[in-house]
Amino acid sequence: MIYPFFHKPNDPGYLHFDEFENLTGNILHLGYILNADNKLGNAEFLKLVEQTVVDKNIDLIILDCTGEPWDIEYDYRVGLSPVALCKLFTKFCKAIIITEDWRYYYDPNPNIVFFPYNLWIHSTQKIEQYYNNGKTVYKAQLTKTKPLMSLNRNLQWHRLYVLDKMAKASWLSEVDFSFVLPLGNKLEDPEVMEKLTDSEREHLSQLNLPIFLDYEKGSSINFGYNNGTSNVNTPVYNRCAVNLITETSVDETNLVTEKTTKAFSAYQIPIVIGKPGINQYLQDLGMDMFGDYIPWRSWDHEHNPRHRMEKILQFVDTIMQDTDAILNAHQQFHLRLISNHIFFHSAEFADRITKQLKRFDI
């Protein structure tokens, strides 16, 4: 039995653990409460967890740091990171941290279990099982008619950097590009002021946002996993050969989200703007990252995010000088794209990414 601890109403973020037969007994699941987005002080929080362990006869506490770029060593609570909390919990109950940080894929830790939730729920096609969702189709058209897409919503600084460069590109009208939130006062945000230049911010302030795809104007734009948002049987995925993906993070904790996984479902060549090592990690999981076409090795271990993005966007600018060549390359890769799609949605891939979680024994 899995007991959610202070979950928001109708939050499905713990239900999938029922699928893992080794997670038997009574489990207490802690999710977003770890970041202190409530009024419980640390002492009250710890006392309540301990009392719940006693009342529910809990065998295991899961500190679930999946879904977002959680840093398990960051003090989300004053003086208490997930790692510190886990140590405190082990005084009265067995406890583990579950993370999507791929460092723990390469370097397992007895109390830190690697489980890439975002990869798993898309790969196994279980989104509709756990979320309020319109029909999710995990396949797009194989033959493409446009060279490039890049979809953007939230106003993280790295997406603003990409927006600045894309808006200056002579070929912007040839790609499917969106940026669906208005700037508001984001250019005055301290992080944006620190990481973008004055000229970049000045240029961004002159742009007319939001920018929608041709068929989106006047529509509400859903996000996450609800309301069919992960469906790739849409015009933009059906027609675009290359997906320039602005992942959730370029300088926080390692994470791969549905932004990347949808490219595998949609028979697309992915160019991922994410954390250092993201391409190598995905290739090590068995995905084809098209290194013979996308020179990701030249930037994948560049630790300066601006330098990394600069190299990526320079390459994008180079290939966009001949859009027919992009479509021809995609056509030549059809068999590999089909293989990528099949493997990503295979039991073999699911077993590979759940290996640590399945081996864990209460």
Q: Tens of pLDDT along 140-196?
A: 999 999 999 999 999 999 999 999 999 999 999 999 999 999 999 999 999 999 999
Confidence of residue 322 (pLDDT cuts 50, 70, 90): very high
Beta carbons within 8 Å of 206's beta carbon, 6+ residues apart: none
Is the model's pLDDT at 362 over the cut of 80? no
- The pLDDT value recorded for residue 37 is 67
Is the model's pLDDT at 10 over the cut of 80? no
CB atoms within 10 A of CB 142: 14
Separation of alpha carbons 275 and 337, rounded Å: 23
- The pLDDT value recorded for residue 51 is 97
- The pLDDT value recorded for residue 134 is 63
- The pLDDT value recorded for residue 8 is 75
Query: Could you give the dihedral angle defined by the CA atoms of residues 32, 35, 41 and 46, in that order, rounded to the nearest 10 degrees?
Result: 70
Is the model's pLDDT at 270 over the cut of 80? yes
User: What are the angstrom distances between the C-alpha of 137 and each of 92, 119, 123, 236, 339?
Assistant: 45, 16, 12, 14, 18
- In this structure, which topology does domain 146-344 adopt according to CATH? Rossmann fold (3.40.50)
CB atoms within 10 A of CB 168: 10
Query: Could you give the dihedral angle defined by the CA atoms of residues 254, 163, 308 and 338, in that order, rounded to the nearest 10 degrees?
Result: 70
Mean pLDDT within 208-223? 80
The lowest-confidence range among 103-117, 190-204, 216-230 is 216-230
Mean pLDDT within 336-359? 97
Mean pLDDT of the chain: 93
CB atoms within 10 A of CB 334: 12
Confidence of residue 9 (pLDDT cuts 50, 70, 90): confident
Is the model's pLDDT at 354 over the cut of 80? yes
Give the pLDDT confidence of 44-87 residue by residue, as tens digits.
Answer: 999 999 999 999 999 999 999 999 999 999 999 888 999 999 99
Q: Are 231 and 240 spatial neighbours (Cβ–Cβ below 8 Å)?
A: no
Separation of alpha carbons 301 and 295, rounded Å: 12
Annotated domain spans of the chain: 2-120+352-359, 146-344
Helices (H), 56-139: 82-89, 103-106, 117-123, 127-130
CB atoms within 10 A of CB 329: 19
Q: Are 289 and 339 spatial neighbours (Cβ–Cβ below 8 Å)?
A: no
Beta carbons within 8 Å of 146's beta carbon, 6+ residues apart: 174, 175, 176, 239, 240, 241
Give the pLDDT confidence of 94-130 residue by residue, as tens digits.
Answer: 999 999 999 999 999 999 999 999 999 999 999 988 8
* pTM of the full structure: 0.94
Is the model's pLDDT at 263 over the cut of 60? yes
